[in-house]
Amino acid sequence: MMTKTYPRTGDKQTVYLNTVINDPQIEVGDYTIYNDFVADPLLFEKNNVLYHYPIHREKLIIGKFCSIACGTKFLFNCANHTQKSLSTYTFPLFYEEWELKKSNITTAWDNKGDIVIGNDVWIGYEAVIMAGVHIGDGAIIAARTVVTKDVPPYTIVGGTPAREIRKRFDAEVIQQLLMLKWWDWSSDKIRNSLPYIMEGKLNELLTVKKDII
């Protein structure tokens, strides 16, 4: 768990996200950042995690070293009016008006599950991530993309709804990176390996994995 909120001196727009989270149903890995130049990034739970009501106990899980741009929204299941009914109106939610059982409130919407974001994911400006979506490690979500389906690791997607633009690397490199899991290394080991990570030197990074514990 990070011990400081602001990564950069004098920058109040960028926060280590897990230091501002209070909801136990939201889990965020270390070093994941959120930037907001419109609203207060400290209000991420209120402004960015939407329709996330306690009645469902659904989770938002975000990995380590993610970069989340201003205005990104996570839309949960209570935004999904059920399609099992002949009407889109949420009658069970207004159980008092319609003399329905209070215990049936959750039938007003379809439950698509948790939102799970992998490690080292970059989510662009004002992207929208819908309920039930899983985004793989190393993926990139373009600005203002609406993600309605799972995104494979190291895949760039964009558009409404999101469509694959291309893979970031070839299949062999992706497999090696997924096995390497550098984001799980100690901070000292990552710091010592930054020249390889930043300059795209995978072979050297693989050697670090073997030589340094």
DSSP for 50-91, written as a single string: ES--TTT---EEE-SS-EE-TT-EEE-GGGSB-SSSS--S-G
Return the amino acid letter for 30: D
Q: How far apart are CA 49 and CA 39, in angstroms?
A: 14
How far is residue 44's CA from residue 35's CA, in Å, rounded to a whole number?
Answer: 10
Is residue 61 a contact partner of residue 115, using CB atoms and an 8 Å limit? yes
Active-site entry in 52, 56, 81, 134: 81
Which CATH architecture describes the domain 14-82+110-168? 3 Solenoid (2.160)
Question: Which residues on neighbouring strands pair with residue 40, listed in sequence order?
Answer: none
pLDDT 10s per residue in the chain (213 long)? 788 999 999 999 999 999 999 999 999 999 999 999 999 999 999 999 999 988 778 999 999 999 999 999 999 988 888 889 999 999 998 999 999 998 888 888 888 999 999 999 999 999 999 999 999 999 999 999 999 999 999 999 999 999 999 999 999 999 999 999 999 999 999 999 999 999 999 999 999 866 554
Record the pTM: 0.94
pLDDT of residue 117: 98
CATH 2.160.10.10 in the chain: give the residue spans. 14-82+110-168
Structure tokens at 189: 């080991």
Transcribe 87-128 into DSSP letters. Answer: --S-GGGGHHHHT--GGGGGGGB-----EEE-SS-EE-TT-E
SS (H, E, C) 147-191: ECCCECCCEEEECCCCEEEEECCCHHHHHHHHHHCHHHCCHHHHH
134 catalytic, yes or no? no
How confident is the model at residue 210, as a pLDDT? 61
Residues, the chain: 213
Rg (CA), the chain: 20
